[in-house]
Every structure is written in C-alpha cells, then in structure tokens.
A and B are shown apart, each in its own frame.
Chain A
Amino acid sequence: MILEAFLVVAAALFTIGLFGALTQQSIVMLMMGLELMINGIILATAAYWYFLAPAAADGQVIVVAVVTAMAIEMAMGFAVVTAIYRAKRIDMTDSATELEG
C-alpha cells in the first residue's frame, strides 16, 4: 500500500461524483454525486494521516469534520428539496431556473 494508490482511488471517486453532480437531472441524484465526492475526500484524508503525519491527530480531526459536513450536506439538501418541491412541485434541476442568469 502506498500513498499514491490511495490518492488515485480518492481522485477517481471524486471525479465520478463530480460527473454525477454535473449530469444528473434529479436533485436527489445530484446530492448522491456530492456524497461520492466527499467519500473521496475522506479516503484521501485518512491516507494523508497514515502515510505522512500519523504522530499528530490533526488528520483524524479532519476526517471527523468531513464526515460531519457530509451529514449536514445531506440534511440540508433534503430540506431544500422538500421546500422547493412544496413551493413549486420541482424535483429536477432543469426546472429550478429561478436564479438563472
């Protein structure tokens, strides 16, 4: 196991997630893309801690913060989906054009 292998896997997960976030029409599927991106970040952070700076706990604390960010992202995302669906019956990104420039 080497650091580069972990990072390439993390980069692949991040990129797949970005592809999903950019291409999916459903807002819920878009959020799954975001989750996949954060998944890659978790892996990269754990690898950094293990391979580069295991003596300090900072890397572990970042993992805790990222996992929390993931939970917040999902909770807020679903709340926004529910609010926008209730207000306008929209569940697709293409229809939510109110802020379109």
Chain B
Amino acid sequence: MTLALFTALALLAIASGVLVFVVDSMARATFALLVSFLAVAAMVLLTDLLYLGAVIILMMIIEMVVMAVFMIMYMMNPAGLMPMSMFHNTRGAAVICGLLFAGLSAGIFLADWPERRGTRPEDPTLELGTALMEGHMLTMMTLGVTLFSTIVATVVLATGRGRYDRLGDRLDAGHPDDPAGGGVGR
C-alpha cells in the first residue's frame, strides 16, 4: 500500500516536474511546479515528518501563488499571442543532465550505504523543536538573521525611487523631487 502510494507520488512529482518546462503557458508551468512540490511534500509525509511535510505544503502553495503573479508580470508569451521558443542550448543541457543523472544513479546504487543508526523517535516534531531551541539554536538564529537581511535586500533592490531619490542624499530637500505633483497642500 505504502509502496503503491510512493510510486504514484514519485511518478506524479517527476511528470509534473517535466510538465513545467513543456507547457507553453508560464502560468500553467507555475501550477505544474506546485503539483510537483505537493507530491514531494506528500512523500516527506510518508517518511513520518508530519510537521515538515505540512510546512512544505503550506509554504509551497503560497510561494507558487506569489510566483504566478510574477509569471504574469514577466510572461514571455501572453495568451499565446507571441509564439516563441523559450529555450536555448537544449542539446548541450540535455547531454549535461543525462550525464548527471547517470552519475547520480550510479552513485546511489553503487554506494555502500550505512545501516540505520538508532530508532525513530515517537514524535519527530518534538525532537526538531528541541533541537532548534537547544543544540541547533545557532542554525535557527542564522536562518532568522538571513531572512531579515533578505527582506532588507529585496526591498532595496525592488524599490524604484526611494527616499534618497526624493529628498536628496542628506534627506534635507524642502520639497520632494517627484515626477508628478500632487498630495495634500502641494
């Protein structure tokens, strides 16, 4: 039963992963990627990681919906009106990826995997939480600081005109230098 479920999920994950780069519409590609992520999350659930599986499901749904917005913003072939090839260097990439997959598979089947050490905990979520708040506290803090710096960096990169553009390098301009007037009292 579990094996059949795993096989179905594996095939779904791979098939929808391929679909991402086969379908013409970038919006459809986003949702194909979402299906692939959900299948992988279900496989993570099969490995008893209930919390992490649920986190991946929730995060990927949000992430792909946000991605769909950007897909529509930067769509190459809107509504199929501008048919064009979205690929370059397909042959070289196919060779590289074929070799890589062959190498990885060879490694997977030839490697002498160690025996399982220890037994599975009754509650992996409790174990994860304890690890993050005790032994792996530094990991958690690093992740937090990295996420915060990401917020700052993305805002800096994505802002078209910030306050230094409007009010000068010393922020001491009497009137903001806006391309269009407006606002109360101006």
Contacts and interface: CB of A to CB of B under 8 A. Distances in A.
Interface of A: 1, 3-9, 11-20, 22-29, 32-33, 35-36, 39-40, 42-43, 46-47, 49-58, 60-61, 63-65, 67-68, 70-72, 74-76, 78-83, 85-86, 91-94
Closest 7 CB pairs of A and B: A55-B118, A57-B131, A22-B93, A50-B47, A79-B157, A79-B154, A11-B104
Interface residues of B, number: 79
B137 to A, nearest CB: 11
Given A24-B21, A28-B26, A46-B52, 9 more contacts: A1-B2, A11-B105, A17-B17, A23-B93, A39-B13, A42-B44, A51-B116, A57-B130, A64-B143
Contacts of B96: 18, 22
Contacts of A42: 40, 44, 56
A3 B116 CA distance: 11
A5 B89 contact: no
Contacts, number: 225
Interface in B2-51: 2-3, 6, 10, 13-14, 17-18, 20-21, 26, 29-30, 33, 36-37, 40, 43-44, 46-49
A30 to B, nearest CB: 10
